[in-house]
Amino acid sequence: MGIVNVTPDSFSDGGRYLDAEAAIAHGRELLEAGADVLDVGGESTRPGAAAVGAEEEAARILPVIEALAPVGPRISVDTSKAEVAAAALAAGAEIVNDVTALGDPDMAAVCADAGCGLILMHMKGTPRTMQEDPTYGDVVTEVAGFLAERRGRAVAAGVASERIWLDPGIGFGKTVEHNLELLARLGEIAALGSPVVVGTSRKNFIGVVTGREVGDRIGGSIATNVLALAGGASVLRVHDVAATVDAVRVAEPILRRSEPPAAEVGP
Ligand code: HH2
């Protein structure tokens, strides 16, 4: 999944693709580089980011979705507002990427009506407050429990369970240790039985571990993505599509030859 941020303030590429033409050209590049899905967003969720109104958010993303959908990729819309999701689905998006996992009470109904895909992501708190000392008992158990509960809510509202993908929300209300723990035990999220989406690309914890600035975290991002794949991830949300596609192409045949995880070995 390639990231198309139509925002002035995203943490790694804010302002580069705010202009619709630039965002469309970037989306085309990501497709050529091998992305299967383009995730188009008009509101940054970086820690401390300012909220954007629905009208402004829709105005940023709709021309981009309208231009890219006919080119052929599956488009996901990165929004937590039901109103924006509905407009994006009408414009050609097929998946809603909701980082608040149904924080908007109308979101499940919009997705049920459209019959679209739905990504439910875990976040502790809101982007404004989430990095203020996040604490958990056991982070993986808590995140898995939250995702299972929100999936239940979506299904109860009429979203087909096979259309739901789950995401542990790397960097959303998590310390470096929490992020590493979630990646190490991703299998426990995959065991919930839905496809797992992982978004580590260029994030702060990679900068903390490597000492690298945001534009120079590709090596760290690739490491986390390959390990996420080995841990059962189905979708990798990334900025650097070409390098990630190469990494996945090499990692996949190796993973296919390796022993299945112990849990899958029968008696
Ligand atoms: N991360 C970001 C945004 N949306 N969606 C999912 N499902 N998973 C993620 O990990 C995720 C996400 C943050 O990254 P980015 O879009 O690059 O930055 P910003 O939120 O500042 O626009």
Q: What is the pLDDT of residues 17-70, one digit of tens each?
A: 889 999 999 999 999 999 999 999 999 988 878 889 999 999 999 999 999 999
Portion of the chain with pLDDT greater than 90, in percent: 85
Whether 185 is catalytic is no
Residue of 200, 261, 202 whose CA lies nearest to 230: 261
CB distance 121 to ligand 1 below 6 Å? yes
Top mutation candidate among 221, 237, 239 for ligand 1, by most atoms within 8 Å of CB = 237
Task: Give residue for tokens 């619709």.
Answer: 20
Higher pLDDT, 82 or 73: 82
Residue 263 in domain: no
Tell me the average pLDDT across 203-219.
97
Tell me the average pLDDT across 124-138.
87
Tokens of 59: 């105005």
CB distance 197 to ligand 1 below 6 Å? yes
Residue 57 in domain: yes
Q: What's the confidence (pLDDT) of residue 266?
A: 52
Domain with residue 71: its CATH number is 3.20.20.20
Span 94-118, pLDDT tens digits: 999 999 999 999 999 999 999 999 9
In whole angstroms, give the CA distance from residue 80 to residue 99.
6
Span 138-183, pLDDT tens digits: 999 999 999 999 999 999 999 999 999 999 999 999 999 999 999 9
Q: What is the pTM of this model?
A: 0.95
With a cut of 80, say whether residue 263 has pLDDT above it: no
Beta bridge mates, 236: 198
Q: In terms of residue numbers, what domain contains 59?
A: 2-258
Residue-averaged pLDDT of the chain? 95
Residue 17 in domain: yes
In whole angstroms, give the CA distance from residue 249 to residue 35.
13
Residue 224 in domain: yes
Tell me the average pLDDT across 212-222.
97
Domain total of the chain: 1
Q: 95, 119 in Cβ contact below 8 A? A: yes
3-state DSSP assignment of residue 120: strand
Tell me the average pLDDT across 172-195.
98
Q: What's the confidence (pLDDT) of residue 262?
A: 58
Residue 114 in domain: yes
With a cut of 70, say whether residue 261 has pLDDT above it: no
Residue 133 in domain: yes
Q: What's the confidence (pLDDT) of residue 160?
A: 98
In whole angstroms, give the CA distance from residue 29 to residue 25.
6
Residue 54 in domain: yes
Residue 264 in domain: no
Q: Which of 46, 237, 249, 257 is catalytic?
A: 237
184 phi and psi angles, rounded to 5 deg: -65, -35
